[in-house]
Amino acid sequence: MTTATLPLSIHFPGKLVFGNGSLNNLAEEITKFKLPRVFLLTIEPLVPKLQGLISSLESQGISVAVDTSIVQEPSFADFNILLQEAGRHKPDVVVGIGGGSVLDVAKLVAAQLDNTQTLAEIVGIGLLKGRSKKLICMPATSGTGSEVSPNAILIDDADNQKKGIISSYLVPDVVYVDPLLTMSVPPQITAATGLDALTHCLEAYTNKFAQPFIDMYAYEGMRLIAAHLEQAVQDGSNKEARSQVAMGSLLGGFCLGPVNTAGVHALSYPLGSTFHLPHGLSNALLLPFVMEFNLSAAPQRYADVARALGCPPGRTDEETAQKGIEKIRHLIKACGIPARLREVNIPETAIPEMATDALKITRLLKNNPRPITLEDAINIYQAAY
């Protein structure tokens, strides 16, 4: 991989605040905009925790409309309904506080309010022409990295496929990361979202278009998550573990713009769109099998991955890389995540159709260190079954 010669383009959020308890400073941040109307997207379980924020804003004369309608991976139809709802409030500022789906939708709401482009017109890379509303994102899980990425993913009702909208305008103006917000996330979701974040870092590091600048984030993200995820899953009240995994997830989010993911994510999409498996779980089910498939194409990179995961070196890169795959398997098991497609009730007969659907995700497959054909995709699913 000749990484140093590739062009690099990064869009960072205008401001990033990371730290335990930083939620307490968010109201002050929002009031700095001196704008009167806020649309807050979140999830029902978080509303009590956000009461202080809402009261503080209202005491400053700022009206706050709260929406908790996003409860699963959103579709185009879900988004269009929500956009109409948001439009009624005529907000100046959109705030997303929640998991990846909530943040993705908040980003798109901020972009699409007052935008003449339809949703269909902005699907793809760099097609969105602007955003007129202020945007603040705050993750409540340590997983998607959506708070700092230029990506938003929705399910297209027409063909049930996940579609990506990628634009620098989707990077928020302000990002707050408060690891304490993740403390109430249950073990299963902590595990799945943590493995998703680990996959972002791992797929950026082993990417055909890997970048030295992004490698720093990717390597450190893998190191932090591998070292602390098990603790965060087994003891959700462990502030140190929560904080380290949150930082790892944030670093993974920075990998998503300039480099992005590859084969694992492409193959995981049908599991989400067809069988409605959570995104993180879909990735975890496929990660070791795609690593095995890719190893021969980038043994040195996968050996680096193993070292980041805390594995002792073997005699060769291949041997070291193999230890990394075993470490991932151990982590999945230790976190109580299913290891096989059959364990989550996916019928074996669905494999050919899943493989066909996965091959449509060319924007990610082009990044994979080894080309994946239809036959390869079938074989990987079969191995994971």
pLDDT in tens, 202-250: 999 999 999 999 999 999 999 999 999 999 999 999 999 999 999 999 9
Integer Cα distance of 135 and 133 in angstroms? 6
pTM of the full predicted structure? 0.95
Q: Can you tell me the mean pLDDT for 180-202?
A: 95
Over residues 171-180, the pLDDT tens digits come to: 999 999 999 9
Instruction: Tell me: do 45 and 135 sit in the same domain.
Output: yes
Strand 161-166 versus strand 151-156 pairing type: antiparallel
* 200 and 88, same domain (yes or no): no
Specify the pLDDT at position 300: 98
- As a whole number, the mean pLDDT across the chain is 95
Structure tokens at 293: 């498939």
R_g of the chain computed on alpha carbons: 20
Q: Among the listed ranges 34-38, 104-108, 153-157, 201-205, which one has the minimum average pLDDT value? A: 153-157
Out of 182, 212, 235, a domain closes at: 182
Residues 170 and 193 in one domain: no
Taking alpha carbons only, the member of 139, 220, 207 closest to residue 172 is: 139
Residue that is last in its domain, among 182, 209, 236: 182
Tell me the C-alpha distance between 279 and 143, whole Å. 10
Assess whether pLDDT exceeds 80 at residue 39: yes
Where residue 5 falls among pLDDT bands split at 50, 70, 90?
low
Residue among 298, 304, 308 nearest 251 (CA): 308
pLDDT category at 82 given cuts 50, 70, 90 is very high
Which SS3 state, helix, strand or coil, does residue 122 take? helix
Is 11 found in the same domain as 134? yes
Give me the number of domains the chain comprises.
Answer: 2
**What is the DSSP-derived secondary structure letter of residue 75?**
B
Tokens 């993911």 — which residue? 261
Give the pLDDT score at 159.
Answer: 87
Q: Inform me whether the pLDDT recorded for 7 exceeds 90.
A: no
* 296 and 318 share one domain: yes
**Containing structural domain, residue 149:** 3-182
End-of-domain residue from the set 163, 182, 201: 182
Do 137 and 150 have their domain in common? yes
Q: Which amino acid is at 18?
A: F
Query: What pLDDT digit, counting tens, does each position of 359-380 carry?
Result: 999 999 999 999 999 999 999 9
